[in-house]
Structure 1
Amino acid sequence: MSPLSIFRAPNTPFPSSSLPPLTPAALLKTWWVTTSTLPMWKSAKNIRITYTSIPSTKNIDDIIHYNPRSGPPATNSTPEEAAKLVTKSIHGVDYPLSENDGDLTYKWRGKGLLFIATSRWQVVGYGGRDVRTIVGEGGEEVLEGVEWVVTYFEKSLFTPAGVDVMTVAREGVDGETLGAIGEGLKGIGGVLGELWDGIFDIPRD
Structure 2
Amino acid sequence: MTALTIGLPKIYAAEGAKCVPPTNDFIIGTWHVTHSSLPLWKGKRNVNITYKLLPEDSGVQKIDDLVQYQAVNSDKVKSVHGVDTPTPGNPGAWDWRGKGWLMIASSHWECLGFGHTDDGNCWIVTYFAKTLFTPAGIDIYSRNKEGLPKEIVDKILETLKGLGVGDITELANGAFQIPQN
Supply the distance in 1 between the matched residues of 2:47 and 2:16 (Cα, whole angstroms): 27
Q: Percent identity?
A: 41
Asked whether 1:177 is paired with 2:167, we answer no
Supply the distance in 2 between the matched residues of 1:105 and 1:169 (Cα, whole angstroms): 23
Q: Which residues of structure 2 form unaligned runs of 5+? A: none
Q: What RMSD, in angstroms, separates the aligned Cα atoms of the two structures? A: 2.1
1:126 Cα deviation from its structure 2 partner = 1.1
1:125 Cα deviation from its structure 2 partner = 1.1
Supply the distance in 1 between the matched residues of 2:51 and 2:81 (Cα, whole angstroms): 10
Q: Which has the larger radius of gyration?
A: 1
Q: Equivalent residue for 2:110? A: 122
| Structure 1 counterpart of 2:30, one-letter code | T
Q: Which residues of structure 1 form unaligned runs of 5+? A: 72-84, 131-144
1:1-205 residue pairs with structure 2 within 5 A?
2-11=1-10, 12=13, 15=17, 22-57=22-57, 58-71=61-74, 85-98=75-88, 103-128=91-116, 147-190=122-165, 191-205=167-181
Change (3 A) 1:44 1:129: closer
Q: Structure 1-normalised TM-score?
A: 0.78
- Do the aligned partners of 1:5 and 1:128 also contact (CA within 8 Å) in 2? no
CA offsets 1:30-73 (integer angstroms, 9 cap, x no match): 000000000100021001100000012410000011111112xx
Change (3 A) 1:182 1:116: same
Q: Structure 2-normalised TM-score?
A: 0.88
CA offsets 1:170-200 (integer angstroms, 9 cap, x no match): 1000011011001110111212111111111
> Any runs of at least 4 consecutive aligned residues in structure 1 with deviations exceeding 6 A, and if so which?
none
CA offsets 1:99-158 (integer angstroms, 9 cap, x no match): 56xx2101101000000000000001112159xxxxxxxxxxxxxx66111000011101
Supply the distance in 2 between the matched residues of 1:16 and 1:178 (Cα, whole angstroms): 20
